[in-house]
C-alpha cells in the first residue's frame, strides 16, 4: 500500500474536485432526463443528456467559456455570480466540488493509494450524488442505484474490496427485501405509499457493499437521523409538500459513515 504524503494528497484532492464537478452535472441533469425523457421519435427535439447541451448559465442561457468551468476557482474568481447576467451562482455547486475532494482525500488516508480506496471513493461520490438528488427532487434514479449495486457485486467478485461475494449478494437481497416488506405492510394498512422503490434499490446497493450484518445498524442510524431532522424541519415548516421527507439522504449518509468507520465503532459511538 502506497502511503499518502502531502504531494499525493494534493493530487487526490484535485482529482476529487474534478470528479465533484462532473457530479454536479449528474445532480442537475439526471433528474431532468428522468422526468422529461426525449422520445426517439422526436427527431427534431434538442439533445439533452449528460454531455449535451454545453454548460451554460441556467438564468440567461449563455454558453460558458472554458475559464468559467474551472472547479472552485471559477466560483471564487466570479465572486459567485454569472459573468454575463450577474445572477448568483448556487453555493451548492462549489460545496459539492469541495466535499468530493475531501471525500477522496479521506478515502486515500483511510485505505491508502490503492484500488480499494478508489472503489470506496467512487462509492462515496455516488452516495453524495444520490443524497443531493433525492433531497432536491425526491428521486433516486435507477442509473445511480443499479450502477452502485452492480459495482458492489463486481468489486466483491474481483476482490477489489474485502467484502466476500456471498455476503455482497445476500446483503443486496436483504437490503431490498427488508424495505420492500416494510413499505408493503405500511401500504396495506394505511392505503398510502410510505416509501419509494428507489429507497429499496439504494439499500440493496448498500447491502452489496457493506454486507447483510451492516443493514440493521444502517437502517437504525438512518431512521433516527431522519426522525430528528424531520421534527426540526416540521417545527420550522420546511418539510416537502405533503410533509414528505426523503429517506435516501439518510440512508446514504449512514452508509458512508459505516463504510468509513465500521459498524461496530459507529454503534459504540452512538451508544447502541
More confident residue, 82 or 193: 82
For 95-130, the pLDDT digits (tens) are 999 999 999 999 999 999 999 999 999 999 999 999
- 248 has pLDDT over 80: yes
pLDDT average, residue stretch 244-254 = 93
What is the structure's pLDDT at 49? 77
- Binned at pLDDT 50, 70 and 90, residue 76 comes out as confident
90: closest CA among 136, 37, 34? 136
For 19-69, the pLDDT digits (tens) are 999 999 999 999 988 887 765 445 566 777 777 777 877 778 788 777 778
Mean pLDDT of the chain: 88
More confident residue, 90 or 118: 118
Q: How far, in Å, CA of 195 to CA of 185, rounded? A: 11
Q: How far, in Å, CA of 188 to CA of 59, rounded? A: 45
Query: How many other CB atoms are found less than 10 A from the CB of residue 16?
Result: 27
What is the structure's pLDDT at 169? 97
pLDDT average, residue stretch 202-206 = 97
Range in 7-11, 84-88, 107-111 with the lowest mean pLDDT? 84-88
More confident residue, 249 or 6: 249
Angle between helices 248-261 and 197-210 (to 10 degrees): 0
Q: Which three cell numbers stand for residue 147?
A: 450502477
pLDDT average, residue stretch 151-178 = 96
- Binned at pLDDT 50, 70 and 90, residue 271 comes out as low
Note whether 217 and 175 are within 8 A (CB).
no
Query: How many other CB atoms are found less than 10 A from the CB of residue 63?
Result: 11
More confident residue, 75 or 120: 120
- 1 has pLDDT over 70: no
pLDDT average, residue stretch 221-243 = 85
pLDDT exceeding 70 applies to what percent of the chain? 93
- 71 has pLDDT over 60: yes
What is the structure's pLDDT at 66? 79
Note whether 38 and 150 are within 8 A (CB).
no
Q: How far, in Å, CA of 206 to CA of 125, rounded? A: 13
Domain ranges of the chain: 1-113, 114-272
Those residues with Cβ within 8 angstroms of residue 221's Cβ, 6 or more apart along the chain or in another chain:
254, 257, 258, 266, 270
Q: How far, in Å, CA of 265 to CA of 183, rounded? A: 29
What is the structure's pLDDT at 45? 65
pLDDT average, residue stretch 181-205 = 85
What is the structure's pLDDT at 192? 76
* Distance spanning both ends of the chain, measured CA to CA: 33
CA 4-10-15 angle, to 5 degrees, is 105
Amino acid at each position: 500500500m502506497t502511503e499518502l504524503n502531502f504531494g499525493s494528497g494534493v493530487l487526490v484532492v484535485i482529482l476529487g474536485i474534478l470528479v465533484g464537478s462532473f457530479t454536479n452535472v449528474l445532480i442537475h441533469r439526471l433528474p431532468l432526463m428522468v422526468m422529461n425523457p426525449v422520445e426517439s421519435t422526436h427527431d427534431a427535439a434538442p439533445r439533452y443528456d449528460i454531455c449535451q447541451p454545453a454548460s451554460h448559465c441556467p438564468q440567461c442561457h449563455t454558453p460558458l467559456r472554458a475559464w468559467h468551468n474551472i472547479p472552485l476557482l471559477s466560483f471564487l474568481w466570479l465572486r459567485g455570480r454569472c459573468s454575463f447576467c450577474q445572477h448568483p451562482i448556487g453555493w451548492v455547486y462549489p460545496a459539492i466540488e469541495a466535499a468530493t475532494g475531501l471525500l477522496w482525500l479521506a478515502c486515500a488516508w483511510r485505505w491508502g493509494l490503492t484500488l480499494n480506496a478508489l472503489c470506496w471513493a467512487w462509492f462515496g461520490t455516488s452516495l453524495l450524488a444520490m443524497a443531493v438528488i433525492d433531497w432536491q427532487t425526491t428521486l433516486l434514479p435507477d442509473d445511480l442505484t443499479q450502477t452502485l449495486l452492480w459495482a458492489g457485486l463486481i468489486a466483491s467478485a474481483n476482490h477489489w474490496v474485502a467484502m466476500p461475494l456471498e455476503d455482497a449478494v445476500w446483503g443486496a437481497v436483504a437490503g431490498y427485501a427488508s424495505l420492500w416488506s416494510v413499505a408493503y405492510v405500511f401500504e396495506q394498512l394505511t392505503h398510502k405509499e410510505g416509501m419509494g422503490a428507489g429507497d429499496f434499490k439504494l439499500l440493496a446497493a448498500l447491502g452489496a457493499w457493506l454486507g447483510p450484518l451492516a443493514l440493521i445498524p444502517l437502517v437504525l442510524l438512518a431512521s433516527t437521523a431522519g426522525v430528528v431532522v424531520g421534527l426540526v424541519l416540521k417545527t420550522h415548516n420546511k418539510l416537502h409538500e405533503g410533509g414528505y421527507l426523503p429517506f435516501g439522504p439518510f440512508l446514504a449518509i449512514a452508509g458512508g459513515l459505516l463504510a468509513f468507520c465500521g459498524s461496530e465503532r459507529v454503534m459504540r459511538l452512538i451508544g447502541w
